[in-house]
Amino acid sequence: MSFRSLLKKFPNEKDLASRPRPYFNHSVEMKKIFTAEERADILQKVGLNVFFFPSEMITGCDLLSDSGVTTMTNEQWAALHVGDEAYGSNRGYFLLRDQIRTTFGDHFFNEPGKEAPNAFLFHQGRASEDALFTQIGGFGSELVIPSNGHFDTTGANIEANGMTALNLFADDLSSNSANHFKGNMNVERLRSLLAESADRVPLVYLTVTNNTAGGQPVSMANIKEVAEVAHGYGIPLFFDACRFAENAWFIQNHEAKYKGKEIDAIVREMFGSVDGFTISYKKDGLVNMGGGLFIRNDGLFSKKYPGVAERILDYQILKEGHPTYGGLSGRDIMALAVGLKLVTKGEYLAHRISQVREFGEGMRRAGIPIITPTGGHAVYVDVNKFFEGTDMKPDDFGGVSLCAVLLGAYGHRACELGYFTFGRYDRERKLEVVPEVNFVRFAVPRLRYEREDLDAVVQAMKALHDNKDVIPGVRVAYGRELSLRHFKARFEFK
């Protein structure tokens, strides 16, 4: 009997309940051990703001962000060693240029010296956002940039450049509808905005996946529809492309037309609809630092704003460095070229998304209210539902309190993305203006944790949920009126 025919007598390895990860640990770091009392003392000292809690004291999972916290592969570490730190045209620059063309399409990286500049490397995402918005902000007044959900720094960069950041969320995120694309833009709201005031909209933004809206993906149908509406008014469309590969996986697996289509092809089709994009490579670049701004060479943006690319180039040289490294070290560029190649691999993405989904399933089974279906990079707990039946009020900032207690009691760090982060204090009316969303986000770093780590977070959250009555609200001791206040504020338990 041949071995292959023998195999047919056993269940297929793909059908077993547990499957091995598509990677193994290359090197590990031993954690230091701290007690809950020691963590609580430090939290009290840093005003319950988890951003200021020393990461070395985190005995559980650090799920504050999935940004820049990727565990790199051995190939990336090897690539770092052959990084070339030349001031001009380092070795990695050419590799990265080729990889960017392969991943996103040739039209996003012109030949320097021969064609107009259109590819700008920056040290991280927000630097590339500022480079773009500084140029557009100067074009007129009362400008509005609509999005399916601006990230906090993106919105802040838009506003810092004198424009308004507008979120056109598509779906009721708190509902348990089976809609797989809750990250979509509300196209009807976009149509009415453009019908009324297209002249005030310099460009339209789509964040893939939609971090502010629960990390939910955007469908190809929505991308194409938004592009059609925007282009109909002669308005360019840009991606905030941080999690482009994860978004492509959802399209492949949940949009009938794309079943069986390669991720690489889906990515290129997605980017075929946009006139440019900003990106933080700290997510789907699989690196710890890096960002960029890319403009389609034959797109609407370059036609509508001639000369802007040259000004962005000057900005880049003034603020970051020569265009061939643009704020990144040669070794970082090498690691990025390798990371971009890996991130669209089917086996990597399938594991990544299923790890986040199983984490969410664990939370749901434990009775924790989360946004379902789970998105690509994080599990979002619905704070209002979590505290249902208790006395927690909006200006008690239950999400801030939950994060502090979780870190103190169980050593896991999560991030409030809700009434405190996205809200603001109205000094005249002396009250808090609360946003549409109120979440605590548990962002899963790429290639870093194993299932038992995330199971421990679920158990900790269950223990807190079972005792939610005794979680106090917080008073803002410092920073209520500051911009970007969640990064800076200090709190006390009420």
The SS3 of residue 351 is helix
Q: Is 280 in the site for ligand PLP (CB under 6 A)?
A: yes
Task: Kindly tell me which of 126 and 352 has the beta carbon lying closer to ligand PLP.
Answer: 126
- The only residue of 80, 136, 163, 242 in contact with ligand PLP, by rule CB under 6 A: 242
d(CA 268, CA 274): 10
Smallest distance, ligand PLP to C-beta of residue 332, A = 13
Task: Kindly tell me which of 280 and 401 has the beta carbon lying closer to ligand PLP.
Answer: 280
d(CA 116, CA 3): 59
Smallest distance, ligand PLP to C-beta of residue 135, A = 18
Task: Kindly tell me which of 59 and 67 has the beta carbon lying closer to ligand PLP.
Answer: 67
Please answer whether residues 163 and 144 qualify as being in contact, where contact means their C-beta atoms are separated by less than 8 angstroms.
yes
d(CA 397, CA 61): 23
Q: Is 124 in the site for ligand PLP (CB under 6 A)?
A: yes
Task: Kindly tell me which of 394 and 399 has the beta carbon lying closer to ligand PLP.
Answer: 399
H or E, element range at 294:
strand 291-295
> What single-letter amino acid sits at 307?
G
Count of residues near ligand PLP by CB under 6 A: 14
Smallest distance, ligand PLP to C-beta of residue 204, A = 15
Between residue 438 and residue 467, which ones bind ligand PLP under the rule CB under 6 A? none
Between residue 159 and residue 218, which ones bind ligand PLP under the rule CB under 6 A? 207, 211
d(CA 51, CA 61): 14
Q: DSSP states of 238-292 as a string?
A: EEE-TTHHHHHHHHHHHSGGGTT--HHHHHHHHHTT-SEEEEETTTTT-SSS-EE
Q: Is 240 in the site for ligand PLP (CB under 6 A)?
A: yes
30 CB burial (10 A radius; 0-12, 13-18, 19+)? exposed
Tokens of residue 352, six digits: 């990544």
- The only residue of 104, 151, 238, 359 in contact with ligand PLP, by rule CB under 6 A: 151
- The only residue of 60, 83, 125, 360 in contact with ligand PLP, by rule CB under 6 A: 125
- Interface with ligand PLP by CB under 6 A: which range of 19-27, 121-129, 179-187, 448-456? 121-129
- Interface with ligand PLP by CB under 6 A: which range of 53-61, 147-155, 175-183, 411-419? 147-155
Task: Kindly tell me which of 47 and 215 has the beta carbon lying closer to ligand PLP.
Answer: 215
- The only residue of 154, 297, 355, 374 in contact with ligand PLP, by rule CB under 6 A: 154
Residue 299 CB coordination number (10 Å): 19
Which whole-number Å values give the CA distances from 487 to 50, 58, 64, 429, in the listed order? 9, 19, 12, 24
Interface with ligand PLP by CB under 6 A: which residues? 67, 124-126, 151, 153-154, 207, 211, 240, 242, 280, 282, 291
